[in-house]
Amino acid sequence: MTDANSLGVYLKDRRAKLDPTAFGFPLKRRRTPGLRREEVAQRANVSATWYTWLEQGRGGAPSADVLDRIARAMMLTDVEREHLFLLGLGRPPEVHYRAPEGISPRLQRVLDTLEYSPAFIRTATWDVIAWNRAAAAVLTDYSTLPDGQRNVLRMMFRDSRVRAAQPNWQSVARYVVGSFRADVARAGAARDVQSLVDELCATSSEFAAMWRDNDVQGHGDGVKVLHHPVAGQLSMEFSGFAVDGRPDLNIVIYNPATPADADNIRALLKSLPK
């Protein structure tokens, strides 16, 4: 359901907060702050009259293409653009997946402060791109893997050590495949993962069967049980969180489920070289 009045208020508010000089417009003879309506319309290549009607809540339902042009004209952030579409069309914009370019030092510091809780950041296509020391000790030392091999699905179906660490591998693998499928669809990344899917279908009959089932899974929190080659069985509660401002990334944190599990993780970390 669209809301023409709220859309008009939002457009007017965003326009008033724009700096004309940042868009190459002069500051002279402006009675109000921000861009003029005709300047936004010019940048978006739409009729100034129709844009004015949009702000007044009487322009009718705009198309996705027009909203996208207005969003670019105003240089809206991804979050602002999504809100614009929700007001104008009652739905978020279509997702066009963009491969991430890494994480900020701030996000890495967040991981590093979780001293005894394994944590990593993965993309919508389930590539692990950052991790902390506890994750390297308990889960996988991702630094020993080439960039292209740090994919959770590839490790689940191609790495014998990862498989051996799962007491109930079949159930875990099915959950991973279903969650991966949901994330890829949500991110609009089907084309980007096709080569990985083809590779795994060709090399793992188990993956091929699970992929053909077309199951999807939600994910957020749960309990992970691992058989670690040094620490033995570890139980950890896990939670997944979207990274604010980076909808392409998800941070996954594992917390020891019991004091004994915490002690085992601490012992593992003490045995690692600094």
CA distance 273 to 232: 20
Average pLDDT over residues 226-237: 95
Tell me which of 51 and 2 has the higher pLDDT. Answer: 51
Tell me which of 271 and 211 has the higher pLDDT. Answer: 211
Tell me which of 272 and 239 has the higher pLDDT. Answer: 239
User: What do you get for the CA distance between the two ends of the chain, in Å?
Assistant: 56
CATH architecture for the domain at 4-89 = Orthogonal Bundle (1.10)
Whether residue 235 contacts residue 223, with contact meaning beta carbons closer than 8 Å, is answered with yes
Two domains, one topology: 4-89 and 105-271: no
Whether residue 117 contacts residue 131, with contact meaning beta carbons closer than 8 Å, is answered with no
For residue 97, how many other CB atoms are within 10 A of its CB?
Answer: 18
Q: Which residues pair with 150 in a beta bridge?
A: none
In the chain, domain spans: 4-89, 105-271
Average pLDDT over residues 53-60: 86
- Angle, vertex CA 199, rays to CA 197 and CA 201, nearest 5: 65
pLDDT above 70 (res 254): yes
The three-state secondary structure class of 228 is strand
Would you state the pLDDT for residue 96? 66
Question: Which pLDDT band holds residue 73 (cuts at 50, 70, 90)?
Answer: very high
Question: Which pLDDT band holds residue 48 (cuts at 50, 70, 90)?
Answer: very high
Instruction: Please write the tens of the pLDDT for every residue from 115-156.
Output: 999 999 999 899 999 999 999 999 999 999 988 899 999 999
The percent of residues in the chain predicted with pLDDT above 70, rounded, is: 96
Least confident of 17-21, 174-178, 242-246: 242-246
CA distance 200 to 84: 39
Q: 105-271 has which CATH code?
A: 3.30.450.180
Q: What's the Rg (C-alpha) of the chain? A: 24
Instruction: Please write the tens of the pLDDT for every residue from 15-25.
Output: 999 999 888 88
pLDDT above 70 (res 68): yes
Q: Which residues pair with 241 in a beta bridge?
A: 251
Whether residue 139 contacts residue 118, with contact meaning beta carbons closer than 8 Å, is answered with yes
pTM, two decimals, is: 0.71
Question: Which pLDDT band holds residue 248 (cuts at 50, 70, 90)?
Answer: confident
Would you state the pLDDT for residue 60? 75
CA distance 107 to 178: 27
